[in-house]
Amino acid sequence: MESHQHILLLLAHLLVFLCNSKLLTSQLLPVIEDLANKSQIYIIHVEKPEGSVFLGDEDLESWHKSFLPNTPLDSGEPRLVYSYRHAISGFAARLTPEEVRAMEAMDGFLAATPDEESEPQTTYTPQFLGLSQWTNGTWHQTMYGEGIIIGVVDTGLHPNHPSFGDHGMPPPPVRWKGSCNFTGFGCNNKIIGAAAFRGGKQPSQPPTDNKGHGTHVASIAGGNFASNASVLGSAGGTASGMAPKSHLAIYKASTNADVLGAIDQAIADGVDVLTLSIGRATKKKFFESEVSIGLHAAVEHGIPAICAMGNSGPDWQSLEFHAPWLIGVGASATDRRIMATVKLGNGIEIEGESAFQPSTFNSSVLLPLVFPGINGTDDDEACLDEYTLDKLNVRGKIVLCMTGGESTNVAKGKRLYEAGAAGMILVGPVYRGRDTFAEPHVLPVSYVNYVDGQKIRCYVYSMKNSTPTATIIFRGTRFGHRPSPHLAAFSSRGPSKINGGILKPDIIAPGVDILGAWRDPPGFGNTAPFAFSSGTSMAAPHIAGIVALLKNKHPDWSPAAIQSAIMTSATSLDLDGNPIIDARTNEPADVYGIGAGHVRPWAAMDPGLVYDLNTTRYTDYLCGLGYTDDEVKRTVRRTVNCSTVQKIAASDLNYPSIGVSLNSSITSANFTRVVTNVGQARSTYNAIITEPKGVRVDLSEYQLKFSRLWQTVTFTVKLSLKNPRPGKIRNAGGKLEWVSNKYVVTSPIAVDFT
């Protein structure tokens, strides 16, 4: 149906990723004793000698080599893995722990960290986000991101996918220094950069994606229009990325040393935007987070850096990244569902989802419903005990299963299918809240959320003396699900305890059941190389594409100004004007879950005012956090003496949001802010304050008057605990809005009661 043709946007086997990342975080670093003679890759941070100037990359490389032992490795591999030019001041090399210890005494040595693996963390979203409206839409205004180069550091790219065709694309800008030089890889005017990093740059290997994750991410950010995009026939339409005319540069990397190599190359190549959907759940301080350091370098080069904040929600303090120079992105669910409704024998209908929508399944026939877990073991509940399944004889029946255990949902379905089951009802875990997921199953399936699953269990338990029955009704792609958007339960939450109270995530964007280009046809019998995937991995490239549109419109804006535009134009309300709901609790989402709120691209293009920042302020801020000189040096890659810089408190970093911890000893905080007028030359803004519960907000100015563009005005915000103090709430959110006759410039206020 024409009216149901929608622009589709482009996500990973969420559960697999989540499980993997949880397992990996608990892996131990090598045990030093046993491995004393075994070499591995280390990232070494060094400080340039006072007054030294390196003429070229070769000079730099020989200085880096001067730190290395002269003895060759038994394996014959080269010692030096990377000589970084931009991403950090330092190099990566193969060394034994003893050799690293010897190096510590050398002049200029700052720190060494063993290399670690990182983990990888749309037919519809451009329309959902309002990009594709005909004449006056954001795409039109920003020329679809034309001329902007998005660098994607991830698992690579599946070559020659229709999302990466170059129809309608101009050649790369002349300033571009990168290259895509692999036959058969689909290098064209869309894919203009391609490089693979694995224990060193691999000049002869294209960055081929063996996972699908990187392909998906790249297509969300900058995929071209591709018709007939669907998964197993669902959600069909024209797929495109957020910035369909932007160019893409693909950097394949998986360990920290490789990611730094990729960032180094991307900076040298001249990308305009850099997006990373990989990482590891981490509470590392900035100077210990190699990726944060590399991205600080990118931002200093004028390249906005976008990061997925992680899928470890709804746990508190589960963020992957904390740095103020990064745009940290959480995930929302849109109003699209790939419907598979469960109908029980008692007539109750329950909404679920599945990407596989079999047309031959006769939903008017109620089938016997069996629950292997009825007598209670975890394995039985998850349909993993073969003995129970055999005993039950699932042939021709619908089987009720909990997700989880040592099996993916799709594999679980496949086993039941092979045992002759007619269908499966999958019940999500409690921590996923209201979220449901459309997966490429091989048999009729409905994925329902935990609460709805309980209703089905109750029905089964209630049928003591007769057979429970059910069927699944496949209703295809439906829009208009409410409430929408909502915060995905898996999206990582703040507050961050290591950045001085700066609110993270910054923003949320679609990240549930996102249709995107994929490596191989997922599932069975599907020919379209697209897949649904969910995660903050999918949310980050949405923002990257929107940043590309902003770059097209405002090529001279700093990364901080672009971040500000995206944040102050976002909304904390859903499509119906109610507070955005958290899928976990079904209550209004916490400010530490949604940050500034849901992205509104069209509003970001013209924000009125921006909170801008000179990158030197990040050094002042790091010194203000109390880091040692050496720790700051590592992070900002140059010589720093904190006793001579103008230290600033985190509250005085000119950030577009306001965040702080208050308690019985610290009962108030002051924030200095400077706004720059980028809207109308003559304009007046009045303040509207929504106080966080239990907190009083006072401003030094309640009206800001501007007479010209680029004029700046300074004001202060004072937060203080009210008397009596708020009861047992752990945090509260509010906002400061500057309102003119044309613009509303909103900063969220987040208070963590410690």
Q: How is residue 587 written in tokens?
A: 């209550």
639 binds ligand NAG (CB under 6 A): no
Q: C-beta of 133: minimal distance to ligand NAG in Å?
A: 6
Of 160 and 228, the one with the shorter C-beta distance to ligand NAG is: 228
614: contact with ligand NAG by CB under 6 A = yes
Closest CA to 153 of 314, 285, 334, 290: 290
Half-sphere exposure of 663 (CA within 13 A, CB side): 4
Considering the rule CB under 6 A, would residue 663 count as an interface residue with ligand NAG?
Answer: yes
Q: Which of 375, 421, 429 is nearest to 402 (CA)?
A: 429
Listed ranges 191-199, 243-251, 359-367, 518-526: which one lies at the site for ligand NAG (CB under 6 A): 359-367
- Indicate which single residue of 84, 356, 602, 655 sits in contact with ligand NAG (rule: CB under 6 A): 602
What does the DSSP assignment read for 325-344? TEEEEEEEE-S-EEEEEEEE
Near ligand NAG in 114-133, by CB under 6 A: 133
Query: Looking up tokens 């037919």, which residue turns up?
Result: 123
* Residue of 115, 154, 380, 574 with catalytic role: 154
Query: How far apart, in whole angstroms, are the C-alpha atoms of residue 331 and residue 347?
Result: 34
Q: At 599, which amino acid appears?
A: V
- Considering only 388, 471, 477, 496, the residue that binds ligand NAG (CB under 6 A) is 388
668 near ligand NAG, judged by CB under 6 A: yes
Name the minimum Å distance from CB 639 to ligand NAG: 9
Binding-site string for ligand NAG from residue 412 to residue 431, where x marks contact by CB under 6 A and - marks none: --------------------
Q: Which of 52, 181, 646, 714 binds ligand NAG (CB under 6 A)?
A: 181
Smallest separation, CB 241 to ligand NAG (Å): 18
The three-point CA angle 116-20-417 to 5° equals: 150
Contact yes or no for 213/12 (Cβ under 8 A): yes
| Dihedral (CA of 426, 430, 432, 434) sign | positive
**Tokens 């931009």 — which residue?**
86
Neighbours of 633 (CB within 10 A): 25
Q: Which residues pair with 734 in a beta bridge?
A: 749
In the bound state with ligand NAG, the residue whose beta carbon lies nearer, of 663 and 712, is 663
- For residue 429, cis peptide bond before it (omega within 30 degrees of 0): no
By C-beta, is 512 or 650 nearer to ligand NAG?
650
- Does residue number 362 form part of the binding site for ligand NAG (CB under 6 A)? yes
Respond yes or no: is residue 75 known to be catalytic: no
Report in angstroms how near the CB of residue 117 gets to ligand NAG at its nearest.
Answer: 25
Catalytic residue chosen out of the listed positions 21, 132, 537, 564: 537
Q: Smallest distance, Å, CB 666 to ligand NAG?
A: 5
Site string for ligand NAG, 137-176 (x = CB under 6 A): ----------------------------------------
Instruction: Look at residues 262, 242, 243, 244 and name the one whose alpha carbon lies nearest to residue 252.
Output: 262
Query: Taking CB under 6 A as the rule, does residue 466 contact ligand NAG?
Result: no
Q: What is the DSSP letter of 458?
A: H
Angle at 430 between CA 485 and CA 531, to 5 degrees: 55
707 touches 673 (CB < 8 A):
no
Residue span binding ligand NAG (CB under 6 A) among the ranges 368-376, 538-546, 574-582, 589-597: 368-376
Whose Cβ is closer to ligand NAG: residue 62's or residue 133's? 133
Nearer to ligand NAG, 489 or 717 (CB): 717
Residue 682 binding ligand NAG, by CB under 6 A: no
Considering beta carbons, is residue 516 or 601 the nearer one to ligand NAG?
A: 601
Mapped onto helix, strand or coil, the DSSP state of residue 631 is helix
Burial class from Cβ neighbours inside 10 Å (0-12, 13-18, 19+) for residue 135 reads: exposed
SS3 211: coil
Q: Which of 45, 158, 213, 481 is catalytic?
A: 213
Q: Which of 557, 559, 571, 560 is nearest to 600 (CA)?
A: 571
Q: Smallest Cα–Cα separation from 371: which of 445, 469, 465?
A: 469
Compute the distance between CA of residue 25 and CA of residue 18 in angstroms, rounded to an integer. 11
CB neighbour class for 376 (10 Å; exposed up to 12, middle 13-18, buried from 19): exposed
CB of 64 to ligand NAG, least distance (A): 23
Q: Are 546 and 242 in contact (CB under 8 A)?
A: yes
68: Cβ contacts below 8 Å, ≥ 6 apart: 79, 80, 93, 95
Using a 10 angstrom Cβ sphere, with 0-12 exposed, 13-18 middle and 19 or more buried, the burial of residue 176 is middle
Alpha carbons within 13 A on the beta-carbon side of 335? 15
The 8-class DSSP code of residue 28 comes to P
CB of 104 to ligand NAG, least distance (A): 18
Say whether 520 is catalytic.
no
Residues 270-299 that bind ligand NAG (CB under 6 A): none
364 belongs to the binding site for ligand NAG (CB under 6 A): yes
- Closest distance between ligand NAG and the C-beta of residue 528, in Å? 9
Considering the rule CB under 6 A, would residue 227 count as an interface residue with ligand NAG? yes
Hunting for tokens 């003119």 — which residue is that? 740
Q: Does 644 bind ligand NAG (CB under 6 A)?
A: yes
CB closer to ligand NAG, 38 vs 705: 38
CB atoms within 10 A of CB 143: 15
Helix (H, G, I), strand (E, B) or coil at 494: coil
Q: Does 27 bind ligand NAG (CB under 6 A)?
A: no
The yes-or-no answer on residue 213 being catalytic is yes
Residue closer to ligand NAG (CB basis): 120 or 500: 500
Place of tokens 């929508």: 357
Q: How far is the CB of 248 from ligand NAG (least distance, A)?
A: 17
Site residues for ligand NAG, 688-727, by CB under 6 A, read: 718
Cα–Cα distance measured from residue 208 to residue 250, given in angstroms and rounded to the nearest whole number = 10
C-alpha dihedral sign at 602, 608, 611, 615: positive
Q: Does 37 bind ligand NAG (CB under 6 A)?
A: yes
Measured from the CB atom, the residue of 641 and 712 that comes closer to ligand NAG is 641
CA angle, 563 then 309 then 157, to 5°: 90
- Assess contact for 474 and 357: CB atoms under 8 A: yes
Q: Does 573 sit near ligand NAG (CB under 6 A)?
A: no
Q: Are 432 and 449 in contact (CB under 8 A)?
A: yes
Instruction: Please report how close the Cβ of residue 103 comes to ligand NAG at its closest, in angstroms.
Output: 17
From 275-283, 415-423, 564-572, 641-649, give the range in contact with ligand NAG by CB under 6 A: 641-649
Question: What is the nearest approach in angstroms of ligand NAG to the Cβ of residue 400?
Answer: 11
Report in angstroms how near the CB of residue 682 gets to ligand NAG at its nearest.
Answer: 21
Q: Which one, 643 or 707, has the nearer CB to ligand NAG?
A: 643
Closer to ligand NAG at the Cβ: 661 or 680? 661
Q: Residues in contact with ligand NAG, total (CB under 6 A)?
A: 31
5 binds ligand NAG (CB under 6 A): no
Q: Is 71 in the site for ligand NAG (CB under 6 A)?
A: no
CA diameter of the chain: 87
Tell me if 616 contacts ligand NAG by CB under 6 A. yes
CB of 354 to ligand NAG, least distance (A): 19
Closer residue to ligand NAG, CB minimum distance, 121 or 388: 388
Interface contacts to ligand NAG, rule CB under 6 A: 37, 133, 136, 179, 181, 227-228, 362, 364-365, 372, 374-375, 388, 392, 602, 614, 616, 641, 643-644, 661, 663-666, 668-670, 718, 754
Positions marked catalytic: 154, 213, 537
